[in-house]
Structure 1
Amino acid sequence: MKHSVKIASILTMILFFGCSSENNSGGNQPPKQYKYLALGDSYTIGQSVCETCRFPAQLKDSIQKYLNPNDSFLVKIIAQTGWKTYDLKAAIAAENLSNDYDLVTLLIGVNNQYQHKPFSIYEQEFPELVNTAIQKAKGDRKNVIVVSIPDYAFTPFGQGNIAISEEIFEYNEFARNYCQSNNVTFVHITDITRMGLQQPELVASDGLHPSTLAYSKFVERILPQARMKIAD
């Protein structure tokens, strides 16, 4: 009988301390603050869509679903419609940015192509921007995501112009190869935008830029990579 009482007491203590430990691990975690830096042009600032509709904002909302309720996820956007690689470089240099971002995305190059700038400029300045992104991402290339350039040929503005697609492909291939060679994550979203003429809902009201729906499809591809980087 005494033996049975002793076993029961031990089991009670195990259950009590086990539950206490479990409750402490979930309830007393200090809140974390995550920082996200989005670098780019009109495709990052979200030309012709609302502020909460552009892909960095949608990415933030998607990531927050996986965070603890008390955690915060701050977004800093450095992007403007019409920016080329050197415009983005100058804008970053003008900002007093810290080097402690948990996540940095980079999407740049379409205006180099659209404004017929020498491809050699992109060959020089895209790697410089990637290295800047790495610097801002705690010096860790694993915290950086490069997003491919959308193909605006497949919009009412582009009217299926094959020459545009070929040039966009050249830019994206350079970026993809550079990222692959330097162990930087590259997320391909261009094929989504190539459905723009078949699916008009993927194009914003201006007939040129991606719509809110298109950006949500971008986020579906970016999110798994972003979650892994935040978790690290």
Structure 2
Amino acid sequence: MHLLHHFRLFSPTLILVFLFLSNCTNEIKQTNSPGIEPVSYLALGDSYTIGTGIDEKNNWPNQLSEALISKNLTVDTTQVIAVNGWTTTDLKNGITETSPDSSFDLVSLLIGVNNQYQGLDIELYRTEFRELIEQSIVFAKGDTSRVFVVSIPNYGVTPFGKYRDPEVISKEIALYNDIAENISGEFGIPFVNITPISEEAEDDDSLLASDQLHPSAKMYAMWVEKMMPTVTQIIQE
């Protein structure tokens, strides 16, 4: 959700806390087992990808890389292009500014919650999500089999979401996810549905960051567990 719009219901102090996390691109070099072909990974998204509210090392892209390393796979680069509040349009612009190369072995895409939150035209999402899928494929050496999409979490179950209309949020997030899943399917790209996991936060505060909106490191670990079968298959093909 766009930082200056999304946190209207929060105090100025909280907004300042989130501002220092608004990094456009983060790249972490990792080393592990010799003799294994290294994997380079690019994660595209928004606050859910950058890991707002927690240490960057515990966001799900970095946890995913660590999980792959634990399986004796080698991940030498984890690059994140994401900012709090980014819509599909913002992500497209951020990609243009960052200009990542086209040699990644693995690319993920999670985007759309801010389109929903800001009440943008659903057709804009449909169009730009397709364009972002196409860009993701380019970054993955032009290979659709190296890309995966992650569903949008349902923030309607969080304390923040409950200030609004949780039922409407849930229905709209489901619609956005249907679009993302259908477009991903057209390209033969796997769609990892972590939305049911996000909904467990309704009854478990430990799954939320201190802002009571974004996921905690614990929830991200659950997402990674869900992703691992898909991701290991992608890498090992």
- Shorter-chain TM-score: what band? 0.7 to 0.9
Deviation of 1:179 after TM superposition, in Å, equals: 1.3
Map Cα deviations across residues 97-150 of structure 1 (whole Å, 9 max, x no partner): 211100000000000000111111101100000010011001011100100000
Matches within 5 A, 1:127-206: 127-159=130-162, 161-206=166-211
Deviation of 1:96 after TM superposition, in Å, equals: 2.9
Q: Which has the larger radius of gyration?
A: 1
Letter in 1 for 2:111: I
> How many pairs align?
202
Note the residue ranges of structure 2 that are not aligned, 5 or more in a row: 1-33
- 2:87 is aligned to 84
Q: Distance in 1 between matches of 2:75 and 2:113?
A: 32
Map Cα deviations across residues 134-168 of structure 1 (whole Å, 9 max, x no partner): 11001011100100000000101111710000100
Letter in 1 for 2:226: R
Deviation of 1:73 after TM superposition, in Å, equals: 2.6
Report if the CA contact (8 A) 1:41-1:107 is conserved: yes
TM-score (norm 1): 0.84
Deviation of 1:72 after TM superposition, in Å, equals: 4.1
- 1:74 is aligned to 77
Match of 1:50 among 43, 51, 55: 55
Identity %: 42
- 1:98 is aligned to 101
Runs ≥4 residues deviating over 4 A = none
TM-score (norm 2): 0.82
Note the residue ranges of structure 1 that are not aligned, 5 or more in a row: 1-28
- Cα RMSD, aligned residues only: 1.3
Q: Secondary structure at the match of 1:196?
A: helix
